[in-house]
Amino acid sequence: MTAVERQAVHREAASGSDLLTRAASSKLTQQAFGYWQSGALFELLSSGLVDRLDGTSSGEQLAHECGLHPEGTLALLRAAQAMGLVAPAGTGWALAPAVEPFLDPGSPTSLRHWFAVMDRWREPWSSLSTTLKSAEGGGGSARLETDPAYVRDFIIGMHEFARLSSNAVIDAVRDAFPAPGAQDTLLDVGGGAGTYAIAALLAAPDATGTVLDHPDVVPLCDEIARHEGVADRLSAVAGDYRGSYGDRRYGTVLLSNVLHQEDDDNAVAMLRESRRVTRPGGHVVVHTHLSGGQRPKLFPALQGVSAFVLWSGGAGMTEERLHNLLSAAELKAARISTVRDSGTTIAVCPV
Ligand SMILES: C[S@@+](CC[C@H](N)C(=O)[O-])C[C@H]1O[C@@H](n2cnc3c(N)ncnc32)[C@H](O)[C@@H]1O
């Protein structure tokens, strides 16, 4: 662009007359104060206000009950109303019906733990600038991971988010998972609450599965497996996924949303180990957010930044990186497909 053309664009922006220019400035403005919105949402949740919105208590009463500043609370409620989270109702305030299924902790689609994790990650994100300048990179979740309440929020939060589309993900690669009636077995590496293993086992009532994860995660996976009625077929095993996966052989080894947490050496070692414990005729399945090449998609691209601040060696996943990792592990994807419901990508590698 020449200097004259640039000046014309600046003039256009200053007058705000062009629709595209106005849309660009509005998008930029939204991005600049996006953290105001997440701050208001997280405070609504963590202050306990959200659980007292029964349509009877006024803003002042709510502030008193939660031990908050009355005027600040009213400002927060008005902001939450403008964001479509709450609405005046009866003699007080209530949750907006559209968000109730996600903010009511008793709802089967509740995302409360997931929001709590996003709230906790604000601290590592706030050190992005320092992390970028350091030679070692991230590791900002290490301190959080020693807190059992964080581990619970993280594991249950990932489950809340993943279960919204786990059936669609498994359906998209049905042939790589145990078939209905087959007595096959699968290994879910870093499976957390076992969300995808559970979806796969519910679709194949004779199959069994193992989730490999940190010792602190095992009881949480057991709890979810019991809740989903698959405790007799899904066992959670404590272990380090950077080490050995044992002597058994599996029909499917799933690596779902774990490789972005690791550097290339660890990720290749994990893929090799997955190949080793897959029986001939079985599959290694990689499930990940892929940020695309020339035109990155917003969530996976930001996830790359998040992985960088949170986990030492974490780097997000691009198409090119996935191909390089698979080929370094001597795996070849028979197909790579995107799941519409989740926007995630699955690579199916026959062994
Ligand atoms: C982003 S979660 C993904 C959970 C699940 N696979 C999914 O797709 O929803 C990452 C998982 O990796 C586990 N993890 C991280 N480092 C690990 C390690 N060194 N050994 C075993 N599991 C690990 C975490 O505890 C967590 O359950």
DSSP 138-155: --TTTTGGG-HHHHHHHH
Burial 155-169 (b: 16+ CB within 10 A, else e): bbbbbbbbbebbbeb
pLDDT tens per residue, range 157-178? 999 999 999 999 999 988 999 8
| 132 or 181, greater pLDDT | 132
pLDDT at 256 over 90: yes
Domain interval for residue 279: 148-350
Nearest-5° angle of CA 257, CA 259, CA 326? Answer: 115
Q: Is residue 14 part of a domain?
A: yes
The confidence score (pLDDT) of residue 311 equals 85
Handedness of CA 142, 224, 344, 267 (dihedral sign): positive
Structure tokens at 190: 């870093």
Length of the chain in terms of residues written: 351
Alpha-carbon span 275 to 333, nearest angstrom: 12
Output the pLDDT for position 68: 98
> Is any ligand 1 atom within 6 A of the Cβ of residue 258?
yes
pLDDT of residue 148 exceeding 70: yes
Query: Is there a single domain that holds both residue 154 and residue 66?
Result: no
290 with 190, same domain? Answer: yes
Predicted local confidence at residue 16, as pLDDT: 62
Beta-strand relationship, 278-288 and 250-256: parallel
Q: Are residues 56 and 166 in the same domain?
A: no
What is the pTM (predicted TM-score) of this model?
A: 0.88
Query: When comparing pLDDT for 184 and 312, which is higher?
Result: 184
Pocket lining: 162 vs ligand 1, CB cutoff 6 Å: yes
Cβ count within 10 A of residue 280: 7
Distances (CA, A) of 225 to 24, 171, 222, 279, 310: 47, 20, 5, 25, 28
Q: Quick one: 63 and 207 in the same domain?
A: no
What CA–CA distance (Å, rounded) separates 331 from 323?
9
Question: pLDDT of 291-346, one tens digit each?
Answer: 876 778 888 889 889 988 998 877 778 889 999 999 999 999 999 999 988 889 99
* Mean pLDDT within 138-145: 73
Say whether both 245 and 172 belong to one domain. yes
**37: in domain:** yes
Answer whether residue 128 is part of any domain: no
pLDDT value for 22: 84
Q: Which atom of ligand 1 is nearest to the CA of 162?
A: 9
Within-domain flag for 136: no
**How many structural domains does the chain have?**
2
Structural domain includes residue 112: no
In a domain? residue 131? no
Same structural domain for residues 92 and 179?
no
- Ligand 1: does its nearest atom lie under 6 Å from the Cβ of 158? yes
Same domain, 67 and 165: no
3-class state of residue 280 by DSSP: strand
Tell whether 65 and 167 lie within a shared domain.
no
The alpha carbon of 23 and the centre of ligand 1 are apart by a number of angstroms equal to 39
From 77, 100, 123, the end of a domain falls on: 100
Nearest-CA residue for atom 15 of ligand 1:
190
Residue 284 dihedral angles phi and psi, to the nearest 5°: -95, 125
Nearest CA to ligand 1 atom 14: 190
8: domain CATH number is 1.10.10.10
Give the Cα separation of 298 and 88 in Å (integer). Answer: 34
> Is 16 among the domain residues?
yes
User: Which of the listed residues 237, 258, 260 should we mutate to test ligand 1's pocket, taking the one with most ligand atoms within 8 A of CB?
Assistant: 258
Residues 196 and 56 in one domain: no
Residues 85, 155 within the same domain: no
Query: Residue 319 maps to which CATH number?
Result: 3.40.50.150
Whether 255 is covered by a domain: the verdict is yes
- Smallest CA-to-CA distance from 232 within 201, 273, 190 is with 201
pLDDT mean over 198-226: 96
pLDDT for residue 178: 83
Place of tokens 């499917």: 252
Same domain? For 172 and 31 the reply is no
Are residues 176 and 310 part of one domain? yes
Instruction: Please indicate whether residue 242, judged by its CB atom, sits closer than 6 Å to ligand 1.
Output: yes
